[in-house]
Amino acid sequence: MATVNPRHAAFLILNRIAKERSYADILLDQELSHGAIKGLDRGLLTELVYGVLRRQGTLDHVISLFSSVKIDRIERSVLILLRLGLYQLLFLDRVPVSAAVNETVKLAKILAPKAPGFVNAVLREADRKRDAITWPDKAKNQAEWMAARHSVPQWIAKAWLGQLGPEEAELLAEAMSEAPPLTIRANTLKNSREQLIETLAAEEVPARPCRFSPLGIQISSRTPLTVLNSYQQGLFTIQDEASQLAALILDPAPGDRVLDVCAAPGGKATGIAELMGNTGEVVACDSNPRRLAQVQQLAKRLGTGIVGAALMDAEKPLASSLANSFSKVLVDAPCSGLGVLRRNPEGKWWKSPDDIEALAQRQRLILANASSAVAPGGVLVYATCSTTIRENECIVDDFLSRHNNFVLEDIRVFRPQYAILCSNQGYFRPWPHQHGMDGFFAARLRRQEKL
Ligand SMILES: C[S@@+](CC[C@H](N)C(=O)[O-])C[C@H]1O[C@@H](n2cnc3c(N)ncnc32)[C@H](O)[C@@H]1O
């Protein structure tokens, strides 16, 4: 039965995420769509679920300081209740301390009947001693400090420290534990960015143009966008600025034949079709039929009729009918998502270095198979929303060492206006803490005419 209590609903969602590795966005959509939770409580529920997942490392550090039981011996439901209560105590100014503690203890009476006293004791102690919370010694072990202070697993902290150095890695970890910006892409088949900003203003949604993407708009309120008329009419889609720029880096033109080998849910495929003025063809493939249906729904709402969805496993050699026949091919590969942890924070608690290795093997295969579809002189863009070198630079280096008919194009030369978003090897490599967009990677490769 649906609960009307947002804290109870947050508990149920966090419990399922921990137990079944479900996704926060899917569970939240389900919970909010049946309408039992109303008004401001809907915002509180979303805040609690994402906030606890984003700050879980910090919350667990504080729990371990004030709990008489070692954290790995605390039963899962009790630990989730403690995280929920502590998140409200430490991060939500608008929730009074008494409500944060009492509401959590009330829930414990229902959900963990042996533990209300323990929950009450840990939360009250954390509140009393909040100014005396201690952290690991940053000078001795910065990864351990980042794990506690900025809620990033140590193996990820170590990777970022190696890539960026201590100051930048800390800023990145901090940015990754914050809520991400809400960014949309104007559908230029139906309106210009300026017209859309005016339409949104009439719908009382404050909006301003993005800095880099000529199609991008940042929304500065937390208004639910999907209920707006402008959304339902397909005047825009929700998409981060980095993903918008990936389509611009592919640079599709009207009349092109484009293959998007990992296309679902269709954000980039529809963006490509919009850039093509809905003239030409976009073949949007994916191996997941459920996600492929989302491509069709999105294309319908946006009116991008040239997008055709097709089921395909790009880890297998592509059908010979696709060979050498596309002027542009996009590989937006399945990846660890370490660049979008602030959007999908549950991911950071499940992933491990072994996953990165397994993903790299798949990415290598997908890129090699997709390259067979590129026509002579055509362009192949390889993209991920991961920060790791293993899933990005290493994949492209390996590809180029085995395919001497492709060359790397420097994105700083091709699109000088994005030069500050690029690495000094000419890859597109924006970072949340520097550029306000998702951590992303894109390489632009060209098939030579003759080889
Ligand atoms: C990063 S997402 C793509 C996002 C999409 N390009 C967009 O902009 O909306 C990666 C996609 O790769 C798909 N995928 C995973 N393995 C695949 C495979 N072997 N062949 C084709 N698609 C695959 C996943 O189902 C997922 O939809």
Query: Is 313 annotated as a binding-site member?
Result: yes
**Sequence-distant (≥ 6) Cβ neighbours of residue 294 within 8 angstroms:** 264, 265, 266
CA of 277 from ligand 1 middle (Å) equals 24
Q: Are residues 304 and 374 in the same domain?
A: yes
- Does 11 fall in a domain? yes
- Does 222 fall in a domain? yes
CATH number, domain at 297? 3.40.50.150
Q: Are residues 298 and 252 in the same domain?
A: yes
- Does 1 fall in a domain? no
Q: Are residues 249 and 347 in the same domain?
A: yes
**pLDDT tens for each residue of 17-30:** 999 988 999 999 99
Reply yes or no on whether the pLDDT at 178 is more than 80: yes
pLDDT computed for residue 42 by the predictor: 92
Closest residue to atom 15 of ligand 1, CA basis:
334
**Sequence-distant (≥ 6) Cβ neighbours of residue 285 within 8 angstroms:** 259, 260, 261, 262, 263, 309, 310, 311, 312, 314
CATH number, domain at 213? 3.30.70.1170
Reply yes or no on whether the pLDDT at 221 is more than 90: no
Catalytic site residue from 210, 385, 394, 422: 385
Ligand 1 atom with minimal separation from the 332 CA: 6
Ligand 1 atom with minimal separation from the 384 CA: 1
Closest residue to atom 6 of ligand 1, CA basis:
263
**Which residue, 190, 195, 266, is CA-closest to 235?**
190
CA of 10 from ligand 1 middle (Å) equals 29
**What range does the domain containing 157 cover?**
142-176
- Does 210 fall in a domain? yes
CA of 314 from ligand 1 middle (Å) equals 9
- Does 57 fall in a domain? yes
Pocket-testing residue among 259, 260, 262, ligand 1, by greatest number of atoms within 8 A of Cβ: 262
**Sequence-distant (≥ 6) Cβ neighbours of residue 140 within 8 angstroms:** none
Confidence of residue 451 (pLDDT cuts 50, 70, 90): low
Q: Strands across the sheet with 216-219, in order?
A: 207-209, 216-219, 182-186, 236-238
Q: Are residues 107 and 158 in the same domain?
A: no
Closest residue to atom 10 of ligand 1, CA basis:
334
Pocket-testing residue among 185, 245, 250, 287, ligand 1, by greatest number of atoms within 8 A of Cβ: 287
CATH number, domain at 60? 1.10.940.10
Kindly report the CA angle at 157 between 70 and 336, in degrees rounded to 5? 100
DSSP 341: T
Dist CA 238 CA 241 (whole Å): 10
Query: Is 264 annotated as a binding-site member?
Result: yes
Pocket-testing residue among 288, 292, 344, ligand 1, by greatest number of atoms within 8 A of Cβ: 288
Reply yes or no on whether the pLDDT at 101 is more than 70: yes
Closest residue to atom 11 of ligand 1, CA basis:
262
CA of 368 from ligand 1 middle (Å) equals 15
CA of 450 from ligand 1 middle (Å) equals 31
Chain centroid, CA 252 distance in Å: 24
Query: Is 328 annotated as a binding-site member?
Result: no
What would the mean pLDDT of 282-294 be, rounded to a whole number? 97
Q: Are residues 329 and 298 in the same domain?
A: yes
CA of 205 from ligand 1 middle (Å) equals 32
Q: Are residues 43 and 97 in the same domain?
A: yes
Reply yes or no on whether the pLDDT at 39 is more than 90: no
Q: Are residues 410 and 356 in the same domain?
A: yes
What does residue 374 show for φ and ψ, rounded to 5 degrees?
Answer: -75, 130
Query: Is 143 annotated as a binding-site member?
Result: no
Query: Is 262 annotated as a binding-site member?
Result: yes
Q: Are residues 247 and 231 in the same domain?
A: no
Complex ipTM: 0.99
Reply yes or no on whether the pLDDT at 1 is more than 60: no
Query: How many domains is the chain partitioned into structurally?
Result: 4
Helix pair angle (116-128, 97-111), 10° resolution: 160
Closest residue to atom 1 of ligand 1, CA basis:
334
pTM (2 decimals)? 0.95
Q: H or E element: which one contains 101?
A: helix 97-111
Ligand 1 atom with minimal separation from the 316 CA: 19
Reply yes or no on whether the pLDDT at 137 is more than 80: yes
Would you put residue 22 in left (φ > 0), alpha (ψ -120 to 50) or beta? beta
Confidence of residue 150 (pLDDT cuts 50, 70, 90): very high
Q: What average pLDDT is seen over the chain?
A: 96
- Does 197 fall in a domain? yes
Helix pair angle (241-250, 267-275), 10° resolution: 50
pLDDT computed for residue 305 by the predictor: 98
Reply yes or no on whether the pLDDT at 317 is more than 90: yes
Q: Are residues 272 and 189 in the same domain?
A: no
Instruction: Show which of 238, 263, 284 is a domain's final residue.
Output: 238
CA of 332 from ligand 1 middle (Å) equals 7
Helix pair angle (6-20, 76-91), 10° resolution: 130
Query: Is 242 annotated as a binding-site member?
Result: no
Find the residues whose C-beta lies inside 6 A of ligand 1: 243, 261-268, 285-288, 291, 312-315, 332, 334, 366
Q: Are residues 290 and 315 in the same domain?
A: yes
Q: What is the largest CA-CA distance in the chain?
A: 75
Query: Is 263 annotated as a binding-site member?
Result: yes
Q: Are residues 60 and 152 in the same domain?
A: no
385 is catalytic: yes
Higher pLDDT, 2 or 345: 345
Q: Are residues 39 and 188 in the same domain?
A: no
